[in-house]
Structure 1
Amino acid sequence: MTYPNVHLAHFIDRPNRFIAECRLQETGEMVTVHVKNTGRCKELFHPEAEVALSYQPSPKRKTDYDLIAVKKAAAWINIDSQVPNALAARAIQDGTIVLPGLKGAVMSVKREQRFAQSQFDILVETDTGNQAFVEVKGMTLENEGIGAFPDAPTLRGLKHVTELIEAIEAGYQSYVLFVVQFEKITSATIHTAMQPALAQMILSGQQQGLSVIAYNCSVTPATIAIEHQVPFDVTQTFEDPNSER
């Protein structure tokens, strides 16, 4: 995916989870921008951190810019919470993302399909008549090469995993797919200290046939693209970089 009209800026402040104050690099102008991620992202939003803004003015918008990426050390991290689903659907369709154990070849990829009380991100149908639900989660939290989800408690995520397990019992295949929105990562895991119930449900799901996979992305200020699969281990120890912030 390529974003239009990208400008570099410096992060100044985040008054609430929806907006941030930034200073454009080329002009020094202060602008209020929409943050395309309602997560905490405390380890990313340091004062003067370099950020990428997409300029998309419209009479229907309150802000002219979207904050889409943050530079952490020498690497860019995409924080757009809307992009993982689109990337995943496209990559499953073209074979960049492989769903392990999928029964048959992918014939169709449908977005936002309902099951029980949930609306899962993707329904895959195969040439053998099998169906698989894929719930996509973006991952932006990282420390020492380990990526983790979530960066804040998510009852919605816990509910999705619970109902993915129910879908297995109903004859579907079920997957949790983490789209890691940065490139340099050695492994992905669940932030157990943040939400132990989610880690336990993931582990229980894996024992019942739930597949949990992660793919990293190459990221620039204006682009993001799926790269390759990275190891996922729910038992991996993760130290929260925000524990002292």
Structure 2
Amino acid sequence: MEFSPAFESGVLLQRYKRFLTDITLENGEQVTIHCPNTGSMKNCLFPSEKVWFSVSDNPKRKYSRTWELAQTPDGHIIGINTGRANALAEEAIASGIITELQGYDSLRREVKYGSENSRIDILLEDANKPNCYIEVKSCTLLEQGQGYFPDAVTTRGQKHLRELMEMVQQGHRAVLLFVVQHSGINCVAAAAHIDAAYAKLLTEAHQAGVEVLAYSADLSPTQTRLVKSCPVRL
């Protein structure tokens, strides 16, 4: 995924009201930009550190700038825009990076499925094999050298695990794919200390046949792409 023009930079002041972030531009001007992340952003908010943002030319937008990347005090880069995770996953499947998800004829996004009325992030289909249902999650929480998901209690994430298990029961293939958007994360685990119910359900889902994968992103102001498999501790 290439960005043209490249992201512009500034310095983080604060995030507030969930979707708003104040930054200082390189020319010293203070502006408010859109924060495209609905999570807690635990361990992702570092005031006075560098951030990068994209700029939209859509005149209908109240805030033309969107927060994309953050830098930690240790120099790691974090992908703030969780909305890019699905596109990164699709691109990595199409390019052959995610080797476990090759060999299908077609790919569709946001397809309705499951008894709890959800939409699957990616559906792979082939006339000669079972469908493959892929739920994509962005992983950005780093604590003591370990990557975790989720960064807050997620009843929605629990629902997705139940529906993936349902797909396995129906004879389909089901995959939970962690898109790791933090350059300091080398391994992913369920955050039982944050959402014990999710961690328990993830173990049950894996035992029921849901595949759990993680791929790390190479992040920069000019391009972002998934580059390699990342271990998952279950």
Distance 2:159 2:19 in 1: 24
Matched, 1:76 2:77: yes
What are the equivalent positions in structure 2 for 1:117-156 lying under 5 Å apart?
A: 117-126=117-126, 128-156=128-156
Matched, 1:11 2:19: no
Distance 1:200 1:56 in 2: 41
Q: TM-score, length-normalised on structure 2? A: 0.93
| Secondary structure in 1 matching 2:165 | helix
Following superposition, the deviation at residue 127 of structure 1 comes to 5.6
What are the equivalent positions in structure 2 for 1:98-109 lying under 5 Å apart?
A: 98-99=99-100, 105-109=103-107
The one-character-per-residue Cα deviations of 1:52-84 (angstroms, maximum 9, x if unpaired) are 011214221111210000001212111111111
Distance 1:3 1:17 in 2: 25
| Secondary structure in 1 matching 2:122 | strand
CA contact (8 A) 2:109 2:123 kept: yes
Distance 1:123 1:194 in 2: 29
Partner of 1:113 in structure 2?
111
| Secondary structure in 2 matching 1:226 | strand
Percent of aligned pairs with the same residue? 33
CA contact (8 A) 1:20 1:32 kept: yes
| Aligned residues: CA RMSD | 1.5
Distance 1:42 1:230 in 2: 21
Distance 1:152 1:122 in 2: 24
Following superposition, the deviation at residue 114 of structure 1 comes to 1.4
Distance 1:62 1:35 in 2: 13
CA contact (8 A) 1:21 1:33 kept: yes
| Secondary structure in 1 matching 2:120 | strand
Partner of 2:174 in structure 1?
174
Following superposition, the deviation at residue 91 of structure 1 comes to 1.3
Following superposition, the deviation at residue 196 of structure 1 comes to 0.8
Partner of 1:213 in structure 2?
213
Distance 1:4 1:155 in 2: 36
Name the aligned partner's letter for residue 97 of structure 1. Answer: I
CA contact (8 A) 1:91 1:226 kept: yes
Distance 1:154 1:2 in 2: 31
Alpha-carbon spacing, 1:98–1:127, altered in 2? closer, same or farther (3 Å): farther
CA contact (8 A) 1:105 1:127 kept: no
Quick check: 15-24 or 56-65, which moved more? 56-65
Matched, 1:188 2:188: yes
Distance 1:220 1:75 in 2: 11
CA contact (8 A) 2:142 2:184 kept: no
Partner of 2:46 in structure 1?
46
CA contact (8 A) 2:92 2:225 kept: no
Distance 1:57 1:223 in 2: 20
User: Which structure 2 residue ranges, 5 or more long, are not aligned?
Assistant: none
Name the aligned partner's letter for residue 107 of structure 1. Answer: D
